[in-house]
Structure 1
Amino acid sequence: MTLSTYTPALYASFRHQTFTCRQLVPVPSKGLLRIERGAVRTVTWNEQGTPITLGYWGVGDVLGQPLSGVQPYQIECKTHVEISYIPANSCDRSLDEILAHVRQNQAFFCIVRSESLHSRLLQLLIWLGQKFGREVAQGLLIDLRLTHQEISEALGITRITVTRLMARLEEEGFIDRSRPQYIVLIAR
Structure 2
Amino acid sequence: MTSLYDLVPRAADGTPYPLARHRGRVLLVVNTASQCGFTGQYAGLEEMWRRHRDAGLVVLGFPCNQFGAQEPGDAAEIARFCSLTYDVTFPVLAKVAVNGSTTDPVFAHLKREKPGLLGLTGIKWNFTKFLVGRDGRVIARYAPKTKPADLDGAIAQALAAPAPQAPAGAAAG
More strand by share: 1
Larger RCO: Structure 1 or Structure 2 (Cα < 8 Å, ≥ 6 residues apart)?
2
TM, length-normalised to structure 2: 0.28
